[in-house]
Structure 1
């Protein structure tokens, strides 16, 4: 009898303890940064929309009254009073408060810390970058859909540091200068494509950025904007972004017990496995093509030289090598293309931007030659257009999340070990204190800012032009190459073409919805129409002549380089001197 009583008591206490623990799931600890009220088990999951979550995390919903009334003394609703300031985009109220650089969301079993000011980014992710170089677990996005191999969301550790050192040596500022011949050639083919089939301007832009990347990484060009590998890359990366950011993927991370369910009960797991096989075939196929060419002595120098050298020393698999090179291909192709696509939309919505850009180019460059990289210092308005494009349409709209390696404190609040830390790019870019009328495309807001994108990214965060390229040790190392591609892209588009709105059935110019963004972890404007015409017959001929000049360096049958231009900085991996 006594034994039965003890068993019953132990069982009852265990049940009560489990119920107590479950009752605390979703609740906010008192030492966390403030945030909206929570519900049991869910926490704040009910407040984050399944689509366009950046509008919530970017002060569009969670940060506006009345959710925060009792925490931030904003009793009068979203008005221009006190420290509660708003800017309106469509029917969405974007609110920014100087006293709220940090807030927390409790999402099931996990804590998300959202940093929404440049000061908070500086104090946490920059000054303490060693503690925030990790990424959160992504069961669906990384483990299942990427085989734990995707670089951008790879956990911090020896493997990531080894890859980071290697990439540093092939993408640093000195190496980036040597890639200009590739950028120059691909840009000229972009311009020719716009002359021939202007309605395909997004595919032409994507071929430009993709081919530039395949040359640097794998040693060969993409000569057709309908190339199956090109189409597969953008489709797979878009699908991966949507999957990784989907509600089911988030829930699997927030409630890890769901990861143990069989596949038939979790359809996204089955889909993730299929997506991984498609991507793996594409990326490893690129890698093996380059590897075999290098083995045979027929391959041109490229980043894969360095990857191959490290593979022979470190012994990682061809799958891993494929995803290292594939991750570089993603980064080099997607963001630059989306930024150029966003700039063209802005030039259509605000035609005075186009007019001012063309006036500067006509004055400095003239009508008889294309702008070159040597014109960089002489075209300050174009450089302002680059900065404003990245600010106004940030492609990595919520940044790529960091994770706290150890418990930390900021402003008296605790950031728990393992907490997801979000670099809230959208909120910072759209803060009217940093950028007046933030949804207006206004390049002149950067007038007098002569810093390069890299100089701005590593300088005082208060003056940083954009946060798209990440921060701390996770700063994108392709920033130097991206700036040169954007400069050649914007300057030559403005030199060569006029961009006009088409008219609808009633003869009125079509209206563009600048808030209609598509994508997942990265975004861009939804497809939109444009009329693209050469500014003169003479300029059209200059473009065609420049392409013909380029072809002397290419095989006439394959349009591949006969040999790499002199001075290209490949095969430079030096593990003893490279930085983490």
Structure 2
């Protein structure tokens, strides 16, 4: 009996000994808000509008601060130099991901975005890079031009459905690149399943319940009845896998039959033959590309439309530039070098309303020192996008949409990301280090084509209610989750002239004859950057 009591007492003391420092901030860690035993700063984590609190902490504790979240540590980088110094210059140890239990459950462990740095991630990255590098990306311009023209026609005929026209624009561009088919209908069920599923993924991954499980991993073993988020995550994953797998297997069959249009999936099929990875993994590689190319660019476009409503003087100045360069002629991508103010709109839209508002956290794989502080192995490292983008010393009056911030910035997003001087980077929406977005060239072009042509053809005005009063548009009201966009708002879209409306219709007719009865390409444009399929065993 005495031995049993002694064993229980010893075990209790060991547990208490291990718990004594949980939640406390070691003296050599970056500074941060005061902690409480066991929970650390967990009680201070906001349930909504987290980006605002993270900015306040940056103002108080500096460009590098830490949060003690139960048994885990989060280091927050809130300056351009800190992001450059750690995520870029020390990318060999800052390129992994934290465990993100709910994130992996949402993805079945298959989503490249959340994978730890390793062999599988590098294999996927290499396959994708072949198609998204700057040389390959220029070959997709015919796709972008076509989808943009159909989007403009939709704005003309159904302006009240402008959000869906933007959705189809970015989605169809990506389905062509990845799977070889166009999304022709704004009511396409698979398209809406994609956007709905990604919204669920973003909201669930960014939920307080998900953060709690990161703070106390032992809670992950509790039954689903006590953790309903686990059931929700599994259901979202099952629906997503069904959508992704359907797209992949359809493309794979056409590739093997020799009936597929050129697309990224051809290279993916070749990689599968060589590396022998599963169809579910292949489906998540291609499906994740579809998500990334569709949702984030769409959300940025929605944010830009809101900015044009809130800052009509910016829209007028941009229209003056477009009119000066093009007159009554339809704007083309070749006009970009002569439209620096519109180029500024592209950069400013990604600064003013960044979709990845707090980034997706990196993880450091070994202890490191920075600015005299210790960053421990396994810590989550967040790049505080909103905090940097709203740093008053970097961007005066940051909540004003001002494209002149970039009047002398002639860099592309890729050039800016590689600039050795962190203060010369335009924005941090596309990430940093080895996790930087590979599709930024394509996104920039899609945004420029959309902004220049929409401004050329339409005015964006504040909608009025039944009493003739202007309806309120609030830029501070954003959706919740890891990826955000403005909450629903009203806008009145008006064609600038009958002549330009007629030009839009003619420009669509000029490309419509290249499509078959189902709206698919009769013949894919020449010069597309795609490889040929090599059958297994050849």
Q: Which runs of 5+ in 2 are unaligned?
A: none
2:412 aligned residue: 452
2:467 aligned residue: 506
Tell me by how many angstroms 1:550 deviates.
1.1
2:102 aligned residue: 140
Q: Is the 8 A contact 1:169 1:572 kept in 2?
A: no
Matched, 1:168 2:161: no
State the distance in 2 between where 1:58 and 1:569 align. Answer: 42
State the distance in 2 between where 1:311 and 1:355 align. Answer: 51
Tell me by how many angstroms 1:14 deviates.
2.6
State the distance in 1 between where 2:402 and 2:14 align. Answer: 58
Q: Which runs of 5+ in 1 are unaligned?
A: 64-95, 575-580
Aligned counterpart for 1:50 among listed residues 31, 47, 52? 47
Matched, 1:440 2:400: yes
Matched, 1:276 2:213: no
Matched, 1:232 2:193: yes
State the distance in 1 between where 2:231 and 2:468 align. Answer: 48
Structure 1 residue matching 2:75: 3-state secondary structure: strand
State the distance in 1 between where 2:503 and 2:113 align. Answer: 40
1:482 aligned residue: 443
Tell me by how many angstroms 1:10 deviates.
4.4
1:296 aligned residue: 257
Aligned counterpart for 1:352 among listed residues 284, 304, 313? 313
Structure 1 residue matching 2:485: 3-state secondary structure: strand
Matched, 1:521 2:482: yes
Q: Deviations 1:38-79 (Å, cap 9, x if unpaired)?
A: 1122110111111221121122xx45xxxxxxxxxxxxxxxx
2:527 aligned residue: 567
Q: Is the 8 A contact 2:266 2:533 kept in 1?
A: no
* 1:194-343 matched pairs, under 5 angstroms: 194-343=155-304
Aligned counterpart for 1:121 among listed residues 83, 104, 107? 83
Q: Is the 8 A contact 1:166 1:573 kept in 2?
A: no
State the distance in 2 between where 1:487 and 1:337 align. Answer: 13
2:493 aligned residue: 532
Matched, 1:40 2:2: no
Tell me by how many angstroms 1:17 deviates.
2.2
How many aligned residue pairs are there?
Answer: 533
1:26 aligned residue: 23
Tell me by how many angstroms 1:155 deviates.
1.1
Tell me by how many angstroms 1:572 deviates.
8.1
Structure 1 stretches of 4+ moved >3 Å: 4-11
Structure 1 residue matching 2:493: 3-state secondary structure: strand
* 1:180-195 matched pairs, under 5 angstroms: 180-195=141-156
Q: Deviations 1:437-472 (Å, cap 9, x if unpaired)?
A: 000101111111111111111112111111000000
Q: Is the 8 A contact 1:134 1:155 kept in 2?
A: yes
Tell me by how many angstroms 1:530 deviates.
0.8
State the distance in 1 between where 2:276 and 2:403 align. Answer: 48
Which of 447-456 and 498-507 deviates more? 498-507
2:434 aligned residue: 473
Structure 2 residue matching 1:106: 3-state secondary structure: strand
Q: Is the 8 A contact 1:248 1:268 kept in 2?
A: yes
Structure 2 residue matching 1:476: 3-state secondary structure: coil
State the distance in 2 between where 1:469 and 1:573 align. Answer: 31
Tell me by how many angstroms 1:573 deviates.
11
Structure 2 residue matching 1:145: 3-state secondary structure: helix
State the distance in 2 between where 1:135 and 1:311 align. Answer: 24
State the distance in 2 between where 1:57 and 1:382 align. Answer: 31
Tell me by how many angstroms 1:256 deviates.
1.0
Q: Is the 8 A contact 2:354 2:386 kept in 1?
A: yes
1:15 aligned residue: 12
Change (3 A) 1:505 1:409: same
Structure 1 residue matching 2:397: 3-state secondary structure: coil
TM-score (norm 1): 0.90
TM-score (norm 2): 0.97
Q: Is the 8 A contact 1:190 1:208 kept in 2?
A: yes
Q: Deviations 1:112-151 (Å, cap 9, x if unpaired)?
A: 0000001111111111011011011111112x11100111
State the distance in 1 between where 2:77 and 2:258 align. Answer: 50
1:431 aligned residue: 391
Q: Deviations 1:538-568 (Å, cap 9, x if unpaired)?
A: 111111111111111110x210011210000
